[in-house]
Amino acid sequence: MKYYDKLIFELSRPGRRGYELPAGNYGTDALASLPGNLLREEAPELPEVSELDVVRHYTNLSNKNFGVDTGFYPLGSCTMKYNPKINEEVAAMPEFSALHPLQGEDTAQGALELYYNLQRALSNIAGLAEFTLNPYAGAHGELTGLMVMRQYHILRGDTKRTKVIVPDSAHGTNPASAMVAGLEVVEVKSKPNGSIDVEDLKPLLDDTVAGIMMTNPNTLGMFETEIVEIAKLVHDAGGLLYYDGANLNPMLGKVRPGDMGFDIMHINLHKTFSTPHGGGGPGSGPVGVAAHLVELLPAPRVVKDAEGRFHIEGKNDKSLGSVSSFLGNFGVMMKAYAYILSLGKENLKNVGPMATLNANYIKESLKDDYLLPIEGACKHEFVFDGLRDKSTGVTTLNVAKRLLDYGFHAPTIYFPLLFHESMMIEPTETESLETLDEFIEVMHKVAKEARENPDMVKNAPLTTPISHPDETTAAKKPILSYRQLKAEQ
C-alpha cells in the first residue's frame, strides 16, 4: 500500500454499506414530516463504502503525512520543535476538557488559576507587564496587538498617527495585519545583513507614525544590535514598538523583548511553546503589553483577588473590546503551560542557546557547498542563497525536492525575498547531534549529485507519490471536490 493514491469516491460501489439502521425506527417517515423546501431533490453524492474501506483509506492517507513525529523538519521561521506528549496528556484531562465555558467561576477555579499562571509566566518570560491569552493564533495576535497600538493613540486623542513602519524583510503577516487594523504600511529598508537601516528609519519618524513592527532576531536569523537606539528613536517620535514573536525561540530565557524596549508583542504558542502547528492545532497568539497599555487589552481577562480567588473580568472603559469568544483556545494554553512547567525556569534558559548552537552547527558544516550570504553567528535560523556552484543550473527548489527523497522535510525556500535562491533552515533545539549530522550528510550528498548528475536532481523527487505538480494550474484552477474533478474529466 506504499503508493496508495485513491480517492474515497473511487472506492464507492452502489449499495455498499458500513452498517444499516433497523428498518422502521429511522425510516423515511421522518423526512415526510419536513416541509418540501427543506428537502433536497437529488440524493447527496456520498461515497458508498464499507467500514474497512474507510479505515484503510484514511490510514493509508495518514501514512503520507510528514510531521515532526516522523522526521526532521528544518522549516525556517516556523520553529517546528517536537510537541511533547505530556502536553497532550495534560490537555486531555477531563477535569479541564469537560468544563463548560459558561460554568460559574467558583466551580472552575483550577482552570482559571492555570490561565492566570500562564499569563504571569509569559509576562515574566517576555519582560512585559501583562498578557491576554484571548487571540486564537499568531496573525490574530498581531491584529490584536496593533489594535492596542491604535487604541493607545486614539485614547490620547492623537488620531493622525495612522502609519506603521515595517521592514522590507518582515514576514508577510506584518503588513497584512497592519492593513486589517486600519493602519497604513510604510516600508523601511534593511541593510545587506537584513537588519534595519537606522538612517533610512530616521526620516520616516514623524508625528503620523503609530509604531514599528519588528522581529528580533530578524528574518535572516541575525540579532538587531541597534535595537536600543531604534527603540529610543521610535519612542522619542511618539510611536510604539511591536515585537513579532515568530523568532522568540533563540531569545527564550536570555533576552526579553520588554527589556529591549518593546511595548507590545505576540507569542506563537505553537512555535516557542511546543504546541502543535496547523492541522494539529488550533493555534494561540497571546499578546503582551508594557505597564502603560494594560488597561487597553481585550476583554475578558482573568484576575486574582487579594484572597487568592480567580475571577473573569469584563470590559473596562479603555479596553479595545473582545477579540474572541470566551477566553480563547484553552486546550492550547494548557499544553504551553505544561511545557513551561516541565522545562522549568532552569531548562527554559537552555532552549535559546541550544537552538542557536544547532543552527550555527548546520550553517558552518554546509557553507562549503551552499552559499552563505551573511557570515557570522546566527541565532535559531539562517539563510543560504542556494548552492555555491550555480553552473549546474540546480536551483533551491530542486535541492528542496531532492531532500524529500531522503526523508527530510524541505526547508523554507524563496523566503526572505532578499536573495534569489533563499533556503531558510531552522533545526530547533529538540534535534539530536545525530539527526543534525544525518541532515548535513544528505545536504552534502545532494550538492555532490548536483555537480555530477544535475539532471537527476532537477527531476527530483523520484520516490514521492507525486513529484512535479503543475503549480500554476493548481494555484489558478484548484480542483477542490470530486464533483469538480468529474466535470473536468
Partner 1 sequence: MSKVIEGLLYAESHEWVKIEGDIATIGISDYAQHALGNIVYVDMPEVGDEVTAGEDFGAVESVKAASDLISPVSGEVVEINEELEDAPEAINADAFANWIIKVKISDPSEAENLLDAAAYAKLCENE
Nearest to partner 1 of 119, 422 (CB atom): 422
Q: How far is the CB of 461 from partner 1 (least distance, A)?
A: 17
Of 42-50, 150-158, 334-342, 409-417, the window that binds partner 1 (rule: CB under 8 A) is: 409-417
Alpha carbons 265 and 348: distance in angstroms, whole number? 19
Q: Is 471 in the site for partner 1 (CB under 8 A)?
A: yes
Nearest to partner 1 of 408, 415 (CB atom): 415
Which of 9, 116, 414, 482 touches partner 1 (CB under 8 A)?
A: 414
Cβ neighbours around 254 below 10 Å, total = 13
Q: How far is the CB of 397 from partner 1 (least distance, A)?
A: 8
Alpha carbons 341 and 322: distance in angstroms, whole number? 29
Nearest to partner 1 of 37, 472 (CB atom): 472
Alpha carbons 400 and 438: distance in angstroms, whole number? 16
Name the strand (E) or helix (H) holding 383.
Answer: strand 382-385
Sole residue written with cell 497600538: 149
Name the strand (E) or helix (H) holding 396.
Answer: helix 396-405
Nearest to partner 1 of 406, 419 (CB atom): 419
Of 239-247, 353-361, 410-418, 440-448, the window that binds partner 1 (rule: CB under 8 A) is: 410-418
Cα–Cα distance list, 477 to 6, 409, 472, 484, 485 (Å): 21, 26, 8, 10, 11
Q: Residue 464: which residues within 8 A CB-CB, separation 6 or more?
A: 404, 405
Nearest to partner 1 of 245, 416 (CB atom): 416
Q: How far is the CB of 403 from partner 1 (least distance, A)?
A: 18
Nearest to partner 1 of 8, 176 (CB atom): 176
C-alpha cell of residue 279: 492541522
Q: How far is the CB of 371 from partner 1 (least distance, A)?
A: 14
The footprint of partner 1 on this chain (CB under 8 A) covers a number of residues equal to 8
Which of 86, 92, 228, 417 touches partner 1 (CB under 8 A)?
A: 417
C-alpha cell of residue 140: 490574530
Q: How far is the CB of 475 from partner 1 (least distance, A)?
A: 4
Q: Is 85 in the site for partner 1 (CB under 8 A)?
A: no
- CA nearest neighbour of 178 among 236, 240, 108, 131: 240
Of 54-62, 220-228, 229-237, 415-423, the window that binds partner 1 (rule: CB under 8 A) is: 415-423
- Cis geometry, peptide bond prior to residue 203 (ω within 30 degrees of 0): no
Looking at beta carbons, which pairs linking 1-9 to residues 24 or more positions away fall under 8 Å?
Answer: 1/56, 1/60, 1/63, 3/465, 4/60, 4/61, 4/63, 4/64, 4/465, 5/465, 6/57, 7/482, 7/485, 8/47, 8/49, 8/53, 8/54, 8/57, 9/45, 9/47, 9/482
Q: How far is the CB of 412 from partner 1 (least distance, A)?
A: 12
Which of 6, 120, 309, 420 touches partner 1 (CB under 8 A)?
A: 420
Q: Is 472 in the site for partner 1 (CB under 8 A)?
A: yes
Name the strand (E) or helix (H) holding 164.
Answer: strand 163-167
Q: How far is the CB of 415 from partner 1 (least distance, A)?
A: 8
Which of 40, 85, 100, 476 touches partner 1 (CB under 8 A)?
A: 476
Q: How far is the CB of 195 from partner 1 (least distance, A)?
A: 21
State in Å, rounded, how far the first CA of the chain is from the last one: 26
Q: Which residues bind partner 1 (CB under 8 A)?
A: 414-415, 417, 420, 471-472, 475-476
